[in-house]
Structure 1
Amino acid sequence: MTSGADTGAAAPFVRLAGVFKRFGAAPPALDSINGVIAGGRITGLVGPDGAGKTTLIRLMTGLMLPDQGTVEVLGFDTRKDPASIQAAIGYMPQRFGLYEDLSVQENLDLYADLRGLPLSERRHTFAELLEFTDLARFTTRLAGKLSGGMKQKLGLACALLRKPRLLLLDEPGVGVDPISRRDLWKMVENLTAEGIGVLWSTAYLDEAEACDHVLLLNQGKLLFAGSPQEMTGRVEDRVFRLSGTTGRRRERLARLLDQDGVVDGVIQGETIRLVMKQGRTPPLIEGSSSGSATATPPRFEDAFVDMLGGGPGGRSRLAETQRPFAADGGRPVIEARGLTKRFGDFTAADNITFDIPRGEIFGLLGPNGAGKSTTFKMLCGLLKPTAGEGRVAGFDLRRDAAEARNRLGYMAQKFSLYGDLSVLQNLNFFAGVYGLSGARKRERIELMTEIFDFRAIHDMSAKDLPLGLKQRLALACAVLHEPEVLFLDEPTSGVDPITRREFWTHINGLVEKGVTVLVTTHFMDEAEYCDRISLIYRGRSIALGSPDEMKARVADKDLPDPTMEDAFIALVQGSEAKEAA
């Protein structure tokens, strides 16, 4: 393990020495953590759900004390002087405590009262923060009516009402679209230029890569402390892109992941990205003579997955047990024809049109509040369109919504599980909802239990499960009845890279069996798994095509090889410019 010491920094803002914390009889939440956080830079606290990030942040605030070791913040020991620490820091919890029935301005007023901001300073402070967060136009809007990105900006404003020396942000990017995440990042960079120290907790490894310094946690242990460049250097010369191969990418990826020497692999547009073991070269793909392997710069995520021992492999037992759906002559399985949804005088979705054939992954992308969730809900029968029509598996959603829903599996953004029911009770409930009974019901529940390794947690309440296990349970419930269509609404938000890979191994395998998938996501690397994408902005579809077609539309001499995130942002900004012209 790399030492947490940073000899280049003067007096650190936070010093962690032998920090240990355990809750009950569970394994340690934090196990002998050492490290520092300096001023004037962004330190990334990186790790999957359950790694110990939130516990460590709460120890830094003095809201919780370590069982062993010391936490020193701005020169104060959290055991001896938590009040001095709390007066000098800004803290934005993971689920920031905005009052959704209060307006933006009323939330600022409330938190100014709580933070003791003098009345004489409020007018200037509010104006400065509203300009900084670009919320000045929305002061009368209820917090509950803000998009995810705008809520995070308001949360940041509330945390900055009294300018802190140290700002602690607990996963501010979760569930936020790429444009809002980039805006948040720029705001925080401006704060570090003033000498403020920032701790940015995240499970997004592209955010980790942009930090000045990283503390990498997994299962309560510190795996790495240092610069992101030092981390990615661990896999230098071991990352390749395979291009020019024939056949289906998902099937090829599954075969490659099970070959010796392959640590990790993901789909990247029309290519496959592979991380190899030390000294190994990319394998030839069976049945292909035209494929070529090109070395490509490593990413932080490549190094993290390598450090954890590699991805889950290419085999999906779920897909192996799935009954196949035969091709039906190219007839669309999902159809959107001029779908429109108005709420009063507000148009959330405007004339959305596309077809999805069998065995395709189709992505709905867009900023928070763009209308993609509205479109999604209309297509799975949860919202009735104002105009237009949608069809799923041949059934009209206006006339035959119940029949259409029986053909699909639905995995909601915030997991459509019943928190007070146990794992087994949730499986039984959803099996009944989907019309399973008797021996067939018992057989499918047993199969899901075996595939997802639920036996040991059958009696645990769903609300008490770690996020990764909730995600597995939600997927298991959605596929109990072997649906021919899967609707996935931001299914992997906040989960770790290994769990995300496991999830996509299952989805890719199901698609090979003819299952059709409609997915929304804020992970731009997940968008690369899609065969086609509709980019929705301000209620309209502004681009439709494959990931590579999207990237080709924005490529130029200054950006010859754009990422999917680059394409997303450029296309949205281009649409804004066109509207303004």
Structure 2
Amino acid sequence: MNGAEITVSVEALRKTFEAPDGGAVAAVDGISMTVRAGELTALVGPDGAGKTTLMRMIAGLLKIDAGSLRVLGLDVAADPQSVQDRISYMPQRFGLYEDLSVQENLDLYADLHGVPQQERRDRFARMLEMTDMARFTERPAGKLSGGMKQKLGLACTLVRSPDLLLLDEPSVGVDPLSRRDLWKIVQQLVDEEHLSVIVSTAYMDEAERCAQVFVMNRGRLLAEGAPETLRTRAQGLTFTATPSEGMPARELQARLIDAPDRIIDAVPSGGSVRFIRQPETDDARLRDLLHDAPIEPRPEELEDAFMMLLRQEEAEVATALTDQPASEPASAQADQDKPVIVVRDLVRKFGDFTAVASTSFDVARGEIFGLLGPNGAGKTTTFRMLCGLLPATSGHLEVAGLNLRTARAAARGRIGYVSQKFALYGNLSVRENLEFFGGAYGLRGKRLKTRVAASLEQFGLDPSAQSGILPAGYKQRLAMATGLIHQPDILFLDEPTSGIDPLARRAFWRTITALAGGGVTIIITTHFMEEAEYCDRIAIQDAGRVLALGTPRDVRQQAGDAGVMDMNSAFIAIVEQGRAKHDAKEAAA
């Protein structure tokens, strides 16, 4: 297939949906674009940018309101079925049948797509080899880890050989190792089969792999081009600042990000802070902001250009969660020196399977503590035990000075919890959710009314909006608001930024930094390894065992680098080292 061929052609494309107030919202607003065949193409943009709507129109699943859309030379509006016969589409929530085995899922999707029997053996063998799942064909899909489910979903999507593959955020909720494996598979398909692939993603390092990148916001196209072309927008504006000894990188980051007149963006990385200065900011104004922190120029990245584009468009959204007072925890008078969480020899077994094996650590008041690990590592089980949602098989677990074996209900009243999946009531308004959860935490009368009003202001929420149809970033804000409404001592966050864009992640972490500064203890799980840099300490788990525990710098050094390695590389190195040691021990036994 000639790379110069056109696989998707869009002209003045428009799609509107009815808004809750009876008006109309343009999800895709007059977009024109051309996607080349035989290449990897990325759609990037914040929540509500229109990426999924555009994907679904390309797939022939949504009717076009205006404009034209041709896919593989076919008019989608006139003949959507012919388009669907030649493409494969993997949505964000791919529908695996969890009671069926890996092989039965492959068979079912081959039946649904009418794949001839004589083609199946070779196709299945290739997909199982590429996904490294040949050993698991008899395992029920529901028993697979998150990363393996995504790989099976991709294999089911590709049971036939399409001319175009559409992937809508395929790596959301997937750990770095599984994410690397997914992209290895996709790249192999592009290189060996010259497959055309369009992927929407919240990860800028994934977009960097693509030949073409389209940046969207509010249904419009902000920019397009090769990653190296887009990066030049930030040329000469990108630097790294090193905080003084003893200062967490997140504190310097907060100082920078709170000065939008001088700084476009800032994010912790490798113990330092990567930032983009405003073009008009001179050296004197920069030194005044940085104090004694030394700075060095650094090569611009695609994420720098992305953040510049979004900051220009979304200034009011970017600042919605900043400059807000942190909630003071209910027990702010607690002993500063006494750990808020104490874990000793924690074990959790499910039958003969050990999910968590003899884990021990402490967490101090006001500390941000990260629990990291690949899918299936045991971190969610550890997390649920810490929250009092799951009893330990053995060991000692103390939260907010209370033993979870004897005072689980009392301990729950001192913690807030934000789950990975949106777990609020979608048919209720924002205000109704806050009132319900405030009441569940024991708030009544004037106290409840005051806390609801404060939460609405702090998180920039519309009280009358229906919760279930909020964009992902605003759902996350609401989940945070309900978790904090009773001003807990400890906040548990289970992959809270999964599926939200870098702009929303920056705003989220600015809030978390302020909460920790106010004395709230934060326990967080995340698959965005850059977020580990916001933590005071992190623990990396795999197969129920703790492989590393310490500051981000400690962990990078354990991975074999004296602080230069990024956390993503350190995480992969530590997990692979741990697995190699475990395999060697098993072989020796």
What is the TM-score with the length of structure 1 in the denominator?
0.94
What is aligned with 1:526? 531
1:568 and 2:571 equivalent? Answer: yes
Partner SS, residue 371 of structure 2: strand
The equivalent residue for 1:331 is 338
Letter in 2 for 1:23: F
- 1:50-89 equivalences under 5 Å are 50-89=48-87
| Cα distance in 2, alignment partners of residues 322 and 84 from structure 1 | 59
Quickly say closer, same or farther: Cα 1:284–1:50, change in 2 above 3 A. Answer: closer
Matched, 1:118 2:116: yes
The 5-angstrom pairing of residues 418-567 of structure 1 reads 418-454=425-461, 457-555=462-560, 561-567=564-570
Q: Deviations over 1:267-304 (max 9, x none)?
A: 22432222101142565677986420111222222221
Identity of aligned residues (%): 51
Whichever residue aligns with residue 275 of structure 2, its letter is L
Tell me if the contact between 1:251 and 1:512 (Cα under 8 Å) persists in the aligned partners. Answer: no
C-alpha deviation, 1:327, in angstroms: 6.7
- Give the secondary-structure state (helix, strand or coil) at the position aligned to 1:306: helix
- 1:195-228 Cα shifts (integer Å, max 9, x gaps): 1100111122221122221111111001111111
Q: Pick the aligned partner of 2:16 from 12, 22, 44.
A: 22
**After the TM superposition, which of the residue ranges 178-187 and 75-84 deviates more from structure 2?**
75-84
What does 1:122-521 align with in structure 2 at a 5 Å threshold? Answer: 122-193=120-191, 194-246=193-245, 247-259=247-259, 260-281=261-282, 283=285, 290-309=292-311, 312=318, 315-319=322-326, 325-326=332-333, 328-454=335-461, 457-521=462-526
**Rounded Cα–Cα distance in structure 2 between residues aligned with 1:252 and 1:55:** 38
Which whole-Å deviations, capped at 9, do the CAs of 1:401-450 have from their partners, x for residues lacking one?
A: 11111111111111331222221111111111111112111111111122
Question: What SS does the aligned partner of 1:488 have?
Answer: strand
Q: How far apart are residue 552 of structure 1 and its match?
A: 2.3
Q: Return closer, same or farther for 1:108/1:421 CA change in 2, 3 Å cut-off.
A: same
- Over 3 Å counting, the alpha-carbon distance change for 1:327 and 1:268 in structure 2 is farther
Indicate if the aligned counterparts of 2:270 and 2:564 stay in contact, CA closer than 8 A.
Answer: no
1:387 Cα offset (Å): 1.1
Q: 1:133 to 1:388 in 2, by over 3 A?
A: same
Counterpart of 2:96 in structure 1 is 98
State the match for 1:5 in structure 2.
Answer: none
Alignment partner of 1:175: what SS? coil
Would the aligned equivalents of 2:553 and 2:563 in 1 still touch at CA under 8 Å? Answer: no
Query: Are the equivalent residues in 2 in contact too, given 1:204–1:494 (CA < 8 A)?
Result: no
Query: In the aligned structure 1, how far is the partner of 2:336 from the partner of 2:475?
Result: 37
Distance 2:251 2:564 in 1: 25
320 and 386 in structure 1: CA distance in 2 versus 1, 3 angstrom threshold: closer
1:319 partner SS: coil
CA deviation after TM superposition for structure 1 residue 328, in Å: 2.2
Classify the secondary structure of the residue corresponding to 2:208: helix
Q: State whether residues 46 and 217 of structure 1, in contact with CA within 8 Å, keep that contact through their aligned partners in structure 2.
A: yes
Question: Runs of 5+ in structure 1 lacking a partner?
Answer: 1-7
Tell me whether 248-257 or 88-97 shows the greater mean CA deviation: 248-257
Query: Cα offset for 1:488?
Result: 0.4
1:4 is aligned to none
Query: Post-superposition shift, 1:324?
Result: 8.2
Aligned residues: 570
For residues 138 and 231 of structure 1, the distance between their equivalents in structure 2, rounded to whole angstroms, comes to 42
In the alignment, the residues of structure 2 paired with residue 390 and residue 474 of structure 1 have an alpha-carbon distance, to the nearest angstrom, of 26
The verdict on how the C-alpha distance between 1:560 and 1:533 changes in structure 2, with shifts beyond 3 A counting, is closer
Distance 2:329 2:579 in 1: 44
CA distance in 2, matches of 1:146, 1:248: 37
- Whether contact under 8 Å (2:88, 2:166) holds in the other structure is yes
Report the 3-state secondary structure (helix = DSSP H, G, I; strand = E; otherwise coil) of the residue aligned with 2:14.
Answer: strand
Normalised by the length of structure 2, the TM-score is 0.93
The more displaced of 341-350 and 329-338 is 329-338
CA-CA distance at 1:133 after TM superposition: 0.8
AA aligned opposite 2:296? T
Q: Distance in 2 between matches of 1:301 and 1:132?
A: 29
Q: Name the aligned partner's letter for residue 223 of structure 1.
A: L
Q: How far apart are 1:239 and its partner, in Å?
A: 1.5
> Conserved in 1, the CA contact under 8 Å of 2:8 and 2:69?
yes
Distance across 1 between alignment mates of 2:43 and 2:215: 6
Q: Which amino acid aligns with 1:410?
A: Y
- Helix, strand or coil for the counterpart of 2:170? coil
Amino acid at match of 1:13: T
Give the C-alpha shift of residue 345 in structure 1.
1.2
Change in 2 beyond 3 A, CA 1:324/1:393:
closer
Quote the Cα distance in structure 2 between the aligned partners of 1:466 and 1:393. Answer: 34
Query: Is this contact kept in 1: 2:476–2:496, CA < 8 A?
Result: yes
Classify the secondary structure of the residue corresponding to 1:210.
Answer: coil
Counterpart amino acid of residue 433 in structure 1: A
Q: Secondary structure at the match of 2:85?
A: helix
Judge conservation of contact 1:254–1:315 (CA < 8 Å) in 2. Answer: no
Give 2:577's aligned amino acid.
G
Once the 2 structures are TM-superposed, how far is the Cα of residue 375 of structure 1 from its aligned partner?
0.3
Deviation at 1:530, TM superposition (A): 0.6
Displacement after TM superposition at 1:452 (Å): 2.2
The 1-side partners of 2:184 and 2:400 are apart by 44
- What SS does structure 2 have at the residue aligned with 1:29? strand
Structure 2: 5+ residue stretches without partners? 585-589
CA distance in 1, matches of 2:14, 2:474: 25
* 192-201 vs 228-237, greater mean Cα deviation: 228-237
Greater Cα offset, 544-553 or 564-573: 544-553
Q: Is the CA contact (8 Å cut-off) linking 1:326 and 1:514 kept in structure 2? A: no
TM superposition shift of 1:254:
2.8
1:564–1:515: structure 2 CA closer, same or farther, 3 Å change rule? same
Higher mean C-alpha displacement, 457-466 vs 536-545: 457-466
Q: Displacement, 1:561?
A: 2.9
Which secondary structure state, in structure 2, belongs to the residue aligned with residue 275 of structure 1?
A: strand
**Deviates further, 278-287 or 445-454:** 278-287
**What's the secondary structure of 1:71's corresponding residue?**
strand
AA matched with 2:201: T
How far apart are the structure 2 equivalents of 1:181 and 1:248? Answer: 28
1:488-522, Cα deviation, whole Å (9 max, x unpaired): 00011111222211111111001111111100001
Shift of the alpha carbon at 1:338?
Answer: 1.2
CA distance in 1 between partners of 2:43 and 2:431 (Å): 35
Residues 371, 539 of structure 2: 8 Å contact kept = yes
Give 1:368 shift: 0.8
> SS of 1:528's equivalent?
helix
CA contact (8 A) 1:245 1:288 kept: no
Separation (CA, whole Å) in 2 of partners of 1:45 and 1:561: 30
* Structure 1 partner of 2:587: none
Contact 1:256 1:285 in 2 (8 A): no
